[in-house]
């Protein structure tokens, strides 16, 4: 009787053990499951970093992009936004996107000259008649020609947004003509075109990461910088600069880039959501926000005590004439065909 009871107990133990084994993976399998959940359980995360402050058009547009992508994907995609250079400067974040450490960033196209000098065409002074011509070129053959470069370095561009027309601020004097720039230490972006631009105007250009500019102005490491009104106000440059001269010498352009392999790994429906959201908000909505903000931020600069001057037509021509030699040099480095494309849009 005892033997029979023992046999029944052993059978029950085996059955219970096998059933529990069906519901609980082994330690090895549990570990593997934690690392590699099924596709249906995965939540896709897009880390998007940029250098802009929260009150600017670029950051506002990223918030709308985030909302759109998360809602349209039914929560399958989560967008994490890191403003104010939290993940580094433009150059560092571009490298991180290329490596796949983060998925998206919104750099100045000036930094993209690191990958190909053709991007320098967008930094050429006074190359566009106006901002509408600029957008037409970027949405057409000029943008298409530049876009094919990025996949060769592991990135894809969704389109070009607007960083405002660049003008010059400094602590020494109003800038009315190139003569006023002689000897001024001007912070410039890490772009050969910007360095040459201010050399031709007689200034002493100092390449510097954007995140270092306020402190450099405050400590007198540089005398001047050049950015759009919204950026000057948002970065509080007006607190350490007295004069702002509306030279409007370059239309500031941003790219909206994503790691190419990451984007290709998304299902087709999610690719569509991300791309449509980027074009709708990071490009189209952002452009209008930036244009709308310009007059408002100019008035804020005036109200803060900054002295603002416009450039007279005859002095504007002096800037243009001083920079003509750049066109001969860069038509060889960038390619005359890029200049010809933009010239057609200016007609």
| Cβ neighbours, 10 Å, residue 201 | 25
Lowest mean per-residue pLDDT among 12-16, 20-24, 32-36, 307-311: 32-36
pLDDT of 5 above 60: no
- Helix or strand run (H / E) with residue 206: strand 204-207
pLDDT for 226 equals 98
What's the confidence (pLDDT) of residue 25? 36
DSSP 347: -
pLDDT at 22: 38
Q: Which of 31-40, 90-99, 242-251, 291-300 has the lowest mean pLDDT?
A: 31-40
Comparing 20-29, 47-56, 246-255, which segment has the lowest mean pLDDT?
20-29
Token code pair at residue 139: 């949405």
Query: Tokens in use for 298?
Result: 């100019």
The two beta strands, 77-82 and 204-207, are: unpaired
pLDDT in tens, 292-336: 999 999 999 999 999 999 999 999 999 999 999 999 999 999 999
Residues with Cβ within 8 Å of 341's Cβ and at least 6 positions away in sequence, in order, are 137, 141, 142, 145
Cα(252)–Cα(56) distance, integer angstroms:
14
pLDDT higher than 60, residue 8: no
Question: Which domains can be identified in the chain, with CATH numbers?
Answer: 43-346 (3.40.190.170)
* pLDDT of amino acid 1: 42
* HSE, side-chain direction, 13 A CA sphere, residue 74: 5
> Which pLDDT score is estimated for 190?
85
**For the segment 118-147, what is each residue's pLDDT rounded down to a tens digit?**
999 999 999 999 999 999 999 999 999 999
Mean pLDDT of 253-280: 99
Q: Is the pLDDT of residue 35 over 70?
A: no
In this prediction, residue 26 has a pLDDT band, given cuts at 50, 70 and 90, of very low
Instruction: Provide the CA 185 distance to its chain's centre, in angstroms.
Output: 26
Residue 85 DSSP class? T
Statement: residue 6 has pLDDT above 50: no
- Reported confidence tier of residue 287, pLDDT bands at 50, 70, 90: very high
Q: What is the DSSP string of 275-343?
A: HHHIIIIIIIIHHHHHHHHHHHHHHHHHHTT-EEEEPPHHHHHHHHHHHHHHHHHHHHHT-HHHHHHHH
Q: In the prediction, which pLDDT does 41 show?
A: 59
Q: Does position 255 have pLDDT exceeding 90, yes or no? A: yes
Measured between alpha carbons, how far is 334 from 339 in angstroms, rounded to an integer?
Answer: 8
Question: Any residues with CB less than 8 A from the CB of 174 and at least 6 apart, and which?
Answer: 180, 243, 245, 307, 309
**Rounded distance between C-alpha atoms, residue 10 and residue 291, angstroms:** 80
Report yes or no: 97 and 157 within 8 Å, Cβ to Cβ: no
Q: What is the dihedral of CA 64, 65, 68, 72, to 10 degrees?
A: -170
- For residue range 65-101, list pLDDT tens digits in order: 999 999 999 999 999 999 999 999 999 999 999 999 9
Distance CA 253, CA 94 (A): 15
Alpha carbons 166 and 125: distance in angstroms, whole number: 10
Q: What percent of the chain has pLDDT over 70?
A: 88
User: Judging by beta carbons within 10 Å of its beta carbon (0-12, 13-18, 19+), is residue 221 exposed, middle or buried?
Assistant: middle
Whether the pLDDT of residue 242 is over 70: the answer is yes
Query: Contact 311/246 with Cβ under 8 angstroms?
Result: yes
Asked whether the predicted pLDDT for residue 171 surpasses 50, the reply is yes
Burial of 157 (0-12, 13-18, 19+ CB in 10 A): buried
* 3-class DSSP assignment, residue 165: strand
Angle (CA) 164 101 92, round 5°: 45
Instruction: Enter the tokens of residue 33.
Output: 């499951």
Q: Look up residue 90 and give its two tokens.
A: 């433009």
């Amino acid at each position: 009787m005892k033997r029979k009871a023992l046999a029944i107990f052993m059978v029950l133990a085996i059955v219970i053990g096998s059933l529990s084994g069906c519901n609980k993976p082994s330690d090895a399998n549990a570990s593997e499951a934690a690392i590699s959940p099924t596709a249906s359980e995965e939540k896709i995360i897009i880390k998007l970093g940029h250098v802009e402050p929260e009150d600017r058009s670029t950051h506002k547009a990223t918030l709308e992009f985030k909302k759109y992508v998360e809602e349209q994907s039914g929560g399958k995609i989560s967008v994490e936004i890191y403003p104010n250079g939290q993940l580094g400067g433009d150059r560092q974040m571009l490298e991180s996107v290329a490596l796949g450490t983060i998925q998206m960033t919104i750099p100045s196209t000036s930094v993209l000259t690191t990958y190909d000098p053709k991007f320098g065409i967008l930094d050429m002074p006074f190359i566009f008649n106006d901002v509408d011509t600029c957008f037409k070129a970027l949405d057409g053959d000029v943008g298409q020609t530049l876009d094919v470069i990025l996949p060769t370095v592991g990135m894809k561009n969704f389109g070009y947004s607007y960083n405002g027309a660049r003008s010059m601020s400094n602590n020494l004097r109003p800038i009315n003509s190139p003569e006023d720039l002689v000897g001024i230490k001007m912070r410039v972006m890490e772009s050969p075109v910007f360095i040459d631009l201010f050399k031709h105007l007689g200034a002493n250009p100092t390449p510097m990461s954007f995140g270092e500019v306020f402190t450099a102005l405050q400590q007198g490491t540089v005398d001047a910088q050049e950015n759009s009104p919204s950026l000057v106000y948002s970065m509080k440059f007006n607190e350490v600069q007295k004069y702002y001269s509306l030279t409007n010498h370059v239309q500031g352009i941003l790219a909206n880039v994503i790691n190419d392999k990451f984007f290709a790994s998304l299902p087709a429906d999610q690719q569509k959501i991300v791309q449509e959201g980027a074009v709708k908000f990071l490009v189209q909505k952002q452009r209008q926000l930036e244009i709308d903000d310009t007059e408002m931020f100019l008035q804020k600069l005036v109200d803060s005590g900054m002295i603002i001057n416009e450039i007279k037509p005859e002095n504007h021509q002096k800037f243009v004439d001083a920079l003509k030699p750049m066109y001969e040099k860069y038509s060889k480095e960038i390619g005359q065909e890029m200049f010809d494309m933009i010239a057609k849009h200016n007609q």
